């Protein structure tokens, strides 16, 4: 019986808290749940709003003038300043078309491919599969048809267009520009090209000093 009384009391308090004071206009400040002496500075934040008055500075303004010789810089979603290289940041050639190949500032080597493999495994493999054939784990859970990287359309697609797709998404694919820095997007593209090359490789693509290992019984 005691538990019933306690439960009824709690229900009544909850109902009054939710419904009893709705729409009421208070004429006095609300109760200070976090008193100043317990949490110093928590209630009275010294920060100023933009374009507000301030008695701290001599000119009475909260906004401060930039120091002399300050150079403005534009920052994109991934926090990269001064994005003047359209090839690197947009995948565009000088004439505005999708660029082919990789930006000059990108060095495609084994370390770069390993980085691309790492990012691909995290962000791409769940849908596109480990070898890029579109048979990722999401396909088992009702995901629509995911294109394979190994059809001619994607093999012939310019690297810049792939970069744009990773950045902004396409169809059911979400954008990854907020998750992958531009250099990581190019690393993923390099790894995708490696997957495509591996799936269509022949013995002639193998360096001569390694062919004996493949031909051995």
Q: 61 lies in a domain?
A: no
Does the pLDDT at position 79 exceed 60? no
Does the pLDDT at position 161 exceed 60? yes
The mean pLDDT value for 89-113 works out to: 94
The domain of 93 spans 86-201
Does the pLDDT at position 202 exceed 60? yes
Residue 129 to residue 69: CA distance in whole angstroms:
51
Percentages of the chain per state (helix, strand, coil), in multiples of 5:
40, 5, 55
Residue 59 to residue 187: CA distance in whole angstroms:
50
Q: 20 lies in a domain?
A: no
The mean pLDDT value for 137-145 works out to: 82
Chain center to CA of 142: 24
Residue 189 to residue 27: CA distance in whole angstroms:
62
Whether 62 contacts 53, CB under 8 Å: yes
Mean per-residue pLDDT of the chain: 83
Confidence band of 119 (pLDDT split at 50, 70, 90)? very high
Between the ranges 13-22, 48-57, 99-108, where is the mean pLDDT highest? 99-108
Q: 6 lies in a domain?
A: no
Q: 101 lies in a domain?
A: yes
Q: 116 lies in a domain?
A: yes
Q: 210 lies in a domain?
A: no
Domain tally for the chain? Answer: 1
Residue 51 to residue 63: CA distance in whole angstroms:
6
Q: 63 lies in a domain?
A: no
Q: 141 lies in a domain?
A: yes
| CATH number of the domain within which 122 lies | 1.10.760.10
Residue 112 to residue 118: CA distance in whole angstroms:
10
| pLDDT above 70 coverage of the chain, percent | 79
Q: What is the pTM of this model?
A: 0.61
Structure token pair of residue 4: 């019933």
Over its C-alpha atoms, the chain yields an Rg (Å, rounded) of 30
Residue 205's pLDDT is 78
Residue bearing tokens 């084994």: 110
Residue 207's pLDDT is 80
Residue 46's pLDDT is 64
Q: Is 75 helix (H, G, I), strand (E, B) or coil?
A: strand
Residue bearing tokens 């790894």: 191
Residue 69's pLDDT is 81
Residue 128's pLDDT is 93
């Amino acid at each position: 019986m005691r538990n019933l009384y306690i439960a009824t009391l709690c229900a009544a308090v909850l109902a009054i808290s939710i419904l009893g004071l709705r729409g009421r206009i208070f004429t006095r400040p609300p109760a200070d749940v976090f008193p100043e002496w317990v949490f110093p500075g928590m209630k009275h934040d010294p920060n100023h709003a933009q374009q507000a008055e301030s008695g701290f500075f001599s000119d009475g303004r909260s906004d401060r003038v930039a120091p002399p010789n300050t150079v403005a810089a534009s920052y994109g979603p991934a926090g990269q300043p001064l994005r003047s290289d359209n090839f690197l940041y947009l995948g565009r050639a000088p004439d505005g078309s999708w660029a082919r190949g990789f930006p000059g500032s990108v060095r495609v080597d084994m370390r770069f491919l390993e980085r691309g493999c790492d990012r691909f495994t995290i962000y791409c493999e769940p849908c596109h599969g480990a070898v890029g054939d579109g048979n990722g784990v999401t396909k088992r859970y009702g995901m629509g048809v995911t294109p394979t990287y190994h059809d001619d359309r994607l093999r012939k697609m310019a690297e810049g267009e792939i970069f744009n797709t990773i950045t902004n998404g396409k169809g059911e694919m979400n954008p990854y520009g907020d998750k992958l820095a531009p250099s990581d997007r190019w690393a993923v593209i390099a790894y995708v090209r490696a997957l495509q090359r591996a799936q269509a490789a022949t013995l002639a693509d193998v360096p001569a000093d390694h062919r004996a290992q493949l031909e051995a019984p």
